[in-house]
Amino acid sequence: MDNPAADITLTPAAAKRVAAIAAKQQKPAILRLAVEGGGCSGFQYRFGLADAPEPDDTVTETDGVSLVVDDISLDLVRGSAVDFVESLGGSAFQVTNPNAASGCGCGSSFSI
């Protein structure tokens, strides 16, 4: 891990939402971002609470909340920011990924 903060960031809005969800579920405030094959554009983001970081995870912290990403997923999301957005269409975690060549309307799928 040279500079994990430069690899991926968690916005304060996302950190606040993770903290609220974790408190409600009585879990640690650790958000895991993973990339899986599938979705309408080739890859899709998967979010979930983690109990602890894995040995190969990159960990970044914002306002006491950790974002963990495994090495394989990190290659696809390096330089990204994870945000929490509330709009008329609903509220969701959103990844601003500079590596994505295209995305989809739902915002949860992308291609390289």
Q: What is the dihedral of CA 82, 91, 22, 31, to 10 degrees?
A: -20
The pTM (predicted TM-score) of the whole model is 0.83
Domain of residue 36, residue span: 4-102
Residue 103 has a pLDDT of 57
In a domain, 109, yes or no: no
In a domain, 38, yes or no: yes
Least confident of 20-29, 58-67, 85-94, 96-105: 96-105
In a domain, 110, yes or no: no
In a domain, 112, yes or no: no
- CB proximity list for 20: less than 8 A, separation 6 or greater: none
**What does the pLDDT look like over 48-86, one tens digit per residue?**
999 999 999 999 999 999 999 999 999 989 999 999 998
In a domain, 24, yes or no: yes
Q: Is the dihedral of CA 88, 107, 61, 23 positive or negative?
A: positive
pLDDT-based confidence at residue 39 (cuts at 50, 70, 90): low
In a domain, 23, yes or no: yes
- Per the structure, the count of domains in the chain is 1
Q: What is the CATH number of the domain that holds 95?
A: 2.60.300.12
Q: Which of 78, 67, 68 is nearest to 112 (CA)?
A: 78
What's the chain's average pLDDT?
84
